[in-house]
Chains A and B, each alone.
Chain A
Amino acid sequence: MPLPPHVASVREVRLGTRGPAPARAERAAAVTAARLLFRGLLGDGDASARLFADGLHRLAALATPPGTAPVTALVLPGAASVPTHPAPSVPASARPGRRPLQGVPTAGALLDAVRAARGLDVSLPRLTLRQARHAAGLLERALRPLSVAAPDADLTHAASSGPPLLCALAALWRAGTPYLLTEHDSHLRRQYLVPGDDDPVRTVLLRFHRALSRLGYESAGRVTTSGRFHRRWQLRHGADPERVLVVPPGLDDPGPAGPEPDAPLLLWRGTIGPDAELPCLLSAFSLVRARVPGVRLVVDGPVADAGYARACRDLGDRLGLGGTLRFTDDPGADGQIVVATAVTDGTPYPLIRSLMAGRPAVATDAGTAAETVGDGGIVVPAGEPDALADACTLLLTDSDLRGRLGLAARRRTLARHAPHAALTAYDHLYRDLRCR
C-alpha cells in the first residue's frame, strides 16, 4: 500500500526473536514483576490496578532495548500538519529488547495469583497447571510489544488498546512521551466476543485485556473513539469522561445518488454473515410485500459465510419471496431506501455511504446504527420484523418523507463524517497533547 506523503517511515518489528538468557538478577526481577502483574490483573479494585501497573512498569523497564530512544507512531491521517521538525530516522539496527517474561516460570506465579484472588472472594474458575501454562504462554506473547524500540517523538498515537497501547505505555514510561489512544471500536468488547474453548484460560486473558485497557484509559493524554456506543465501554472501564472524545471516521463524499428507482426497491448492504440478521429482514420483507405492490429487495454484499447465505436463500424460498428477492455483490446497486439490520459493533461504512449519497435508512437499533442514522432515517428495535416492516412500508409509500429524510441524511453524514472534520479533530488533539 502506498504511504501518504506525510508518513516519514514505517518500520516492521519482529517480536518473536528470542534474546540471550537473562542474568540471575534480571530473572528474579522479572519473576517479581510477573507476580505483581498477575495479582493485579486478576483482582477487581484500585489496589489490584496499582499492582498491575507496577508489574507492567517493571517489565517494560526489563525489556528496554539497549541504546535506543523512545517511540513514535504518527501514522494516522491528519498527522500532516503536526511535525514541525523532520521526523527522526530510525536506525536499521534498532532491535527490540528481550522478551519481558523470557525465562520466567510464569505458570506457577499465575497459579499462585489465582489462588490468592480466589481467597479474596474474586470470582475466578479453578485453573489447572496445564491451563496455567497455556495462559502464561499467551500472556508472555501478549507482553512482547513492551520490548519495541521506538524512535524519538513528541507524541505516540496508539491506534488500539492491544499491542499499540503496550508500545505507547513503554514510551511513556521510558521517555515521558504522552500518547493519544484511539479505539475505533472497543478493543475490550471485541476480546469479550472472541469465543474460547477453555473458560479459565479465556478468563485470565480477558482479565489481562481489562486491566490493560483500564490502565491505558487512565494513562492516556486523550482517548478517542468512533461513536457513543463504544464510549460507554470506555467510561465503564475507568476512562475520564472529560478526556474521551468521539471522532467519527472521515469518508470522502461519493456525491449525491441519482434519481430513485421507479419501482419500490429496498436495498440491504453489508457483509453476508451471521451478524447480518437477514432472517429478520426477510421476515419483514414478506410483510412489506403484502402491503406495497411490486416491491423488491436487493441484498448486496460479499458473502462471509456461504452456509449462512444458503440458509437465507432457502428461507426466502420458504417465505415465497421468489423473484422479488435478489442476492448480489454490486457496489452500484441502489434502492429507494437502505435497510440496515446487522448487529455488528463496527463502524457501518456501507450505511454511511448510502446516507451520504442521500438515501434514507431504516435501521435496527444495534451497535452504532442509531447514532449513525440520526435524523436521516427511522430506527427500530432489533429483532422485531413487524417494526421493521412498518418503517419500510411508511418510507416506501411516502415519497415526501423519503425525500426529506434523504436530504437530512446527506446533510448530517457530510457534516459528521467529512474527512476534514476528523483531520481537524486529530490536529487539535495532537497540538493539545504536545503542549502539555
Chain B
Amino acid sequence: MNVPTIAELTRFAHAADADDVAAAIESRGLTDQAVLRGYGVPTVFALGEALLGHVRRMRWIRSGVGSGRVPFLRAALRRGLLHAVLLASAVPLGRAGWAVPAGVLLLGWLWRASATPLPARRRPAAMPRATPSATPGAASGSARRATWEVHGASSRVLPRISGERAGRIAPDGSRPTAAVRRAGLGHLMVGFGQAAAFVLVWRVAPDDGTVPPAVIPVLLGLPLLEVFAGWRAAQVAGALDACDDVRAYRRHLGDVTLVSIMGLVPPLLVGGVTALAACLAPHPWSGHAPARTLVLGLSAGLLLAGLHGVLLLLASQGRTTAAALISLAPLLLTIAALSPVAAPIPGVTSAPGVTSAPAPGTVLPAETAPGPAPTAASAVPPGVSLTTRTVAVPATVLIGALAISYAAGLVTATGRGARR
C-alpha cells in the first residue's frame, strides 16, 4: 500500500478541496476497494475529505509562507553603477565622449523595454525566414524581425549583466501584442529623446575637450534615480503581494506616487532657480562668462537628471506614450524656439556654434549673452575655421525646454492613471 509521505501531506494542506486530495490519492494507484481495505472508508473521495480535514488541523504544516519582501536595492544599485561607469567612461574619450553617454541612455531604455512582456525566446510563427525583398511589406517584416531579434538579445543579455531576471515571456509565446509593441517602441523613443537632450546639454559648455559640468548632475543622479525607480517598483510589487483589496492598493500607490513626486520637485526648483539666478544676477557676476556657463550647465544637467526620474516614474506607471512625448519635448521645443517663425525670446541672443569637427546638421547649444549678438567672425577663435553650417542653441532656451518638459511630466505623473 502506498502511504502518503510527509511532503504529500504538506501539499494536501494547500489542496483546493477534498477532490484535489482524492485525485492525488488516486494518482498513487489507490482505488475505492483499496481505501476500503486499508482505511475503512468507502471511497477515495471520503478518504480525501477525511485527510483534508485532518491535515488542515495540523497548523504547523500551513506555516512557511514567504515574507513577501521584494529585494530591489542590490539590482538597482548595480544598474545605477553600470550607468555611471559607462557615463564616466566618456571622460577619457575627449571630444567624441558625448556619444558614449548618449548611447548609454538609449541602451538603458532599450534595456527597460526588454522588461516588457515581449516573447524573447521564441521566434514569432509569422516571421518570414526568407531573405527580405525590396517590397514595403518585406521591409516592414524585416524591421519587425530586426526589432524582435534586438529585443530578444537585449532581454537575455542585459538583465544578466545587471543580475536581474530576464524579461517576461508573452503568455502565448507567439508574437507581441499591439500594446506590448507600443510599449517597446515607447521605451525606445524615450531613450532617443533622452539621448538627444543629453547631447544638447553636453554642448552647453564650450567644447574644450573636457567633460562639461552639465554631465556631473547626470553622473551623480542616474544611480540615485535607479535606486528611486527600484524603490518605487518594490513598493508597487510589495503592495500587490500585500493587498487583497483594490481600494487599499490604490491608496498605497497614491501615497507612493506622492512621495515620488515630492522627491522629484526639488531638482526642478533648484535647476530653475539657479538658471534664473545666473541670468538675472548683477552684471559683474552674470557677466562672468565661465561662471555663468558653469551654473547654466549644472542647471541643465540637474534638470535632465530630474527629467530622467520623471520619465522613469511615467514608464513605471505604464504610460510609455506620455513618457516618449515628454522625453522628446526638450528637443522639439528647442527646435521650435529656434525656428524662423518663432518669436524672438526676450533677453536671449543666439550665437553661431563653433566646432572644429561638427557633425553635419547637429544642433549645437551655445553660450548666451545678454548683450549684443556677437558676429560670426568675432566668435571664431583664431585658427578655427567654420567648415559646416550649424545652428546654435542658447543654453537658456534648452533649460527652458527642459524645465517645461519636467513640469509637464510631473503634472502628467500626478494625473489620471497615477494609481497604476
Contact = CB atoms under 8 A, between A and B. Distances in A.
A210 interface: yes
Interface string B224-266: 0000000000000101111111100100000000000000000
Contact of B23 (A18, A137, A189, A199): A189
B408 to A, nearest CB: 27
Given A206-B17, A383-B2, 11 more contacts: A111-B245, A115-B244, A129-B243, A132-B244, A199-B14, A203-B16, A236-B19, A343-B29, A345-B26, A365-B33, A381-B1
B29 A370 contact: no
A364 to B, nearest CB: 6
Contact of B16 (A16, A115, A207, A345): A207
Contact of B29 (A111, A123, A127, A364): A364
A16 B172 contact: yes
A343 B28 contact: yes
A128 B27 contact: no
A129 B240 contact: yes
A324 to B, nearest CB: 25
B201 interface: no
B29 A129 contact: no
Contacts of B243: 128-129
A105 B419 CA distance: 14
B34 interface: yes
A215 B249 CA distance: 35
A366 B33 CA distance: 10
A327 interface: no
A141 B239 CA distance: 25
Given A111-B244, A128-B242, A130-B241, A382 B16 contact: no
A236 to B, nearest CB: 6
A345 B27 contact: yes
Given A343-B28, A365-B34, A383 B19 contact: no
Contacts of A382: 2, 28-31, 34
Interface residues on B, range: 35 or more
B27 A343 contact: yes
Given A192-B19, A277-B29, A125 B1 contact: no
Question: At the interface, is chain A mostly helix, strand, loop or mixed?
Answer: helix
Contacts of A232: 32, 43
A339 B45 CA distance: 28
A129 B2 contact: no
Contacts of B381: none
A176 interface: no
B20 interface: yes
A336 to B, nearest CB: 24
Contacts of B23: 189, 192-193
Interface in A112-130: 114-115, 123, 125-130
B136 interface: no
Given A129-B244, A365-B34, A384-B1, A192 B45 contact: no
A239 to B, nearest CB: 14
Contacts of B37: 381
Contacts of B30: 366, 382
A370 B31 CA distance: 10
Interface in B336-371: none
A137 B172 CA distance: 12
Contacts of A251: none
Nearest to B19: A192
A202 B27 contact: no
B383 interface: no
A88 to B, nearest CB: 30
8 contacts: A18-B177, A128-B241, A129-B240, A129-B241, A141-B171, A206-B17, A345-B26, A381-B34
Contacts of A199: 14, 16
A365 B31 contact: yes
Interface in A307-328: none
A133 B239 CA distance: 13
B309 to A, nearest CB: 25
Contacts of B17: 123, 203, 206, 210
Nearest to B23: A192
A195 to B, nearest CB: 9
B29 A210 contact: no
A107 interface: yes
A193 B34 contact: no
Contact of A126 (B20, B22, B244): B244
A202 B33 contact: no
